[in-house]
Structure 1
Amino acid sequence: MKLEFMTTDHWDESLWNRIEPVYREAFPSGAKPKGILRSMLDSGIACIHAGLYHNEVVAMAVSGVEGALADKRLIIDYLAVRKETRGQGYGTQFLGMVCDWAQKEHQVRGIIIEVESGETDVHAERIHFWEHRGFVLTPYVHQYIWVPEPYQAMLLPLDQSISVQDNGQSLFRYINSFHKKAYRQR
């Protein structure tokens, strides 16, 4: 059950062709188009991660580092596990690999994700996944102008001095900075 971990900061079409089915399955709507993802890698603001089991992609993530040198955070923009392999520990193992990579390669002090804010069982399951892995849900609900769903930020502190000093609104400064770079016209 040990995954092989791959990370790339440049576009690799053959790797993307293996990752894309997991990405599209998990994010059928609201996912960034391939051209935006490619541009994010080409401009150096993001990496794509893959978790492989017996050479099959079972997990994927898109991430980017935000913040000043002493205050770096990893933004996990997308993280998904192939549907038929969920519940087998791949997501936890893969997330651990992404966290280890971020600390080793970028000395990040925390990891930020955003989750859809809502009251459904699906929302509760997603939040529970992240909380079970050490992420802290913040109460601030952020409404983007270009998507209908509201979002909340979650933080995984990797340094004892890291915590959320407000209701979570400050975490969206990192997230919004990352999104602004991702959608900047090239």
Structure 2
Amino acid sequence: MQWTFNTLTEWDRACWDKLGPIYREAFPHGAKPEKVLRSMLDRRIASLHAGLLEGEPVAMAITGFNGGQGVKRFILDYMAVRQDLRGQGLGRLFFSQIRDFADQDPQAEAILIEAEAEDTEMNRERLRFWLHCGFIATPYVHQYIWVPEPYRALYLPLKDDFTLTDDGKTLFRDITSFHHQSFRGQ
């Protein structure tokens, strides 16, 4: 198996034409529109990651940093593996490379994600995946005003001294700030 991990910091139409179907398949509702994703890369607040198996795109992610000097949080906004290839370890492999990418920034304290908190089998499977990747789930459940489903923050410390001082509510400040940056100017 030949696996390749690529990170793009500028919008590449040809690459997106191959990754877009994976994104739309995994996130049919509530995903950021393509023009917002393109703007995020154009404004250099996000990166687009691609996982290729035998040269064919099979995984994608959108990530970005939030925070300033010494308090950077790495936001994993979206990550997906092509549906027909899930359950084969590609998601963990892909995420390990995303984690390594985040860890290259010496100021990055933690990786943050938000996961749907409704008690459904699909959401329980997603939560198990993230826990197997080393994330820690927080008890706080956040209800956004613009989407109907509630979300829970999860975090993966990148620094030994990173500690969470509350139930996860503060993590949503970083996540929400990143979302606001994403839509700025749209």
TM-score interval w.r.t. the shorter chain?
Answer: over 0.9
Residues of 2 paired with 1:83 and 1:31: CA distance?
Answer: 17
Residue in 2 that maps onto 1:61: 61
Residue in 2 that maps onto 1:72: 72
Residue type matched to 2:80 in 1? A
**Residues 3 and 94, structure 1, Cα contact 8 Å, conserved in 2:** no
Kindly provide the CA deviation profile for residues 81-113 of structure 1, in whole angstroms up to 9, marking residues without a partner as x.
001111111100000001101111464121000
Residues of 1 paired with 2:23 and 2:156: CA distance?
Answer: 23
Kindly provide the CA deviation profile for residues 54-86 of structure 1, in whole angstroms up to 9, marking residues without a partner as x.
111111000000112211111000000001111
Map 1:34-183 → 2, pairs under 5 A:
34-105=34-105, 107-183=107-183
Post-superposition offset of 1:151: 0.6
**Residues 3 and 90, structure 1, Cα contact 8 Å, conserved in 2:** no
TM-score (norm 1): 0.96
Kindly provide the CA deviation profile for residues 150-180 of structure 1, in whole angstroms up to 9, marking residues without a partner as x.
1110000111111211000010111011001
Residues of 1 paired with 2:100 and 2:174: CA distance?
Answer: 20
Q: Which runs of 5+ in 1 are unaligned?
A: none
TM-score (norm 2): 0.96
Residues of 2 paired with 1:164 and 1:106: CA distance?
Answer: 19
**Residues 137 and 155, structure 1, Cα contact 8 Å, conserved in 2:** yes
Residue type matched to 1:95 in 2? F
Residues of 2 paired with 1:58 and 1:110: CA distance?
Answer: 26
Residues of 2 paired with 1:23 and 1:106: CA distance?
Answer: 29
Q: Point out 4+ residue stretches in structure 1 off by more than 3 angstroms.
A: none
Residue in 1 that maps onto 2:11: 11
How big is the alpha-carbon RMSD for the aligned residues of Structure 1 and Structure 2? 1.1
Residues of 1 paired with 2:93 and 2:2: CA distance?
Answer: 8
Residue type matched to 1:111 in 2? I
Residue type matched to 1:174 in 2? D
Residue type matched to 1:126 in 2? R
Residues of 2 paired with 1:2 and 1:94: CA distance?
Answer: 13
Q: Which runs of 5+ in 2 are unaligned?
A: none
Secondary structure of 1:18's aligned partner: helix
Residues of 1 paired with 2:69 and 2:17: CA distance?
Answer: 34
